[in-house]
Amino acid sequence: MATLAFETIPHGNPTPADKRAALMADPGFGKVFSDHMVTIRWTPDKGWHEAQVRAREPFRIDPAAAVLHYAQEIFEGMKAYRLPDGGFSLFRPEENARRLNASAERMAMPEVPEELFLAAIEELVKADADWVPGGDGSFYLRTFMFASEAFLGVRPASEYIFCVIGCPVGAYFKGGFKTVSVWISEEYTRAAPGGTGAAKCGGNYAASLSATKEAFANGCDQVVFLDAVERKWIDELGGMNVFFVMDDNTIVTPKLGTILPGITRASVIRLAEEAGYTVKEELYSFDQWQADARSGRMREAFACGTAAVIAGIGTVKYRGGEFAIGNSGDGETTTQLRAKLTGIQRGTAPDAYSWTRKVQA
């Protein structure tokens, strides 16, 4: 399809500069939002149309909108970084576009052409350039699509809205990187073969919340899910992929299938292999994790995702007890890979992989 022209509707009441500065001083994550949003509509007769950059505001949808009843919704998350030269950097947004479309196919939703997806996120970055923090901060971009057709029949909807919103976020860990503690969920599972585990849809995350609540109640930062069939193989965390670093320079990570194909995950694998590590994507059980941590064969474990990038795992808790990983602190491999990856993202290290996409406001 030809790239749509975006209509910019002037914001009638943008946030004053002093208030914006105050909000950005300590934004947290996902609590402070920028002034604009991008919306594009889809119908069978017109395809994607009515592309607009406009003031961020509530949607007006019918109470019978399909998303409210059958959860036909998908999303992606990525970040824009302010570069030293005054421009902005997006990290592998083409991969977000491809993953969104893989999710759309699984959820019986229309594909968003890659060039339209990229244009939409760039339009928001340009419109809200003043909201992109410098330093250790970044501008989190949430793209999502939902079924807006009003009907109560169980079938794929025929009307959709694609939207991009943004929010300034500070450093994930205040005062320097810290390891996280994780809780092994032995009651709840996240996804089963043939399910939607590899799709980034809201229902997957809703189903994880009881387990996450259990993790919090046990003093942990994140939950780790086991597979839904044998209840023994490590799957992934509630919102991150996981890696295990062994003493022979081998790194193990659960294979794809029922887990989300993380873009940070794929980047870590590439960087680790080029640093001389042997990366194995294979089944790895909770029993193996305990044995390898206690014997010292496992030097480190870390989780990765868009928000935290790479976070070391220090302590693992479960109903039968707990155990530590290494010295419960960030290990050499975790630190090395995180420095390399964040350097590429922020434009402070060479990008030999053409992973970054530059945007000029």
β pairing state of 250-253 and 278-281: parallel
- Copy the structure tokens of residue 56: 């961020």
* pLDDT on residue 178: 80
CB 199 within 8 A of CB 105: no
CATH match for 7-169 among 3.40.50.150, 3.20.20.70, 3.60.21.10, 3.30.470.10: 3.30.470.10
| CATH topology for the 180-346 domain | D-amino Acid Aminotransferase; Chain A, domain 2 (3.20.10)
Q: Name the pTM for this structure.
A: 0.94
Mean pLDDT over 76-98 rounds to: 95
pLDDT digits (tens, 9 = 90+) for 17-70: 999 999 999 998 999 999 999 999 999 999 999 999 999 999 999 999 999 999
pLDDT digits (tens, 9 = 90+) for 341-359: 999 999 999 999 999 999 9
Those residues with Cβ within 8 angstroms of residue 88's Cβ, 6 or more apart along the chain or in another chain = 80, 81, 82, 125, 129, 132, 139, 358, 359, 360, 361
- Copy the structure tokens of residue 241: 């992929």
* pLDDT on residue 174: 54
Those residues with Cβ within 8 angstroms of residue 221's Cβ, 6 or more apart along the chain or in another chain = 180, 181, 182, 215
CA 169 from centre of chain = 14
* For residue 173, pLDDT beyond 60: no
Mean pLDDT over 323-336 rounds to: 89
pLDDT digits (tens, 9 = 90+) for 220-243: 999 999 999 999 999 999 989 999
pLDDT digits (tens, 9 = 90+) for 183-205: 999 999 989 999 999 999 999 99
- Domains of the chain, by residue range, sit at 7-169, 180-346
CB 345 within 8 A of CB 93: no
* For residue 308, pLDDT beyond 90: no
Q: Specify the higher pLDDT residue, 212 or 171.
A: 212
* For residue 2, pLDDT beyond 90: no
* pLDDT on residue 328: 76
CB 41 within 8 A of CB 161: yes
Q: What is the mean pLDDT of the chain?
A: 94
* pLDDT on residue 86: 83
Tokens 């989780």 label which residue? 303
Residue 128: which pLDDT band, with cuts at 50, 70 and 90? very high
pLDDT digits (tens, 9 = 90+) for 285-303: 999 999 999 999 999 999 9
For residue 130, count other CB atoms closer than 10 A to its CB: 15
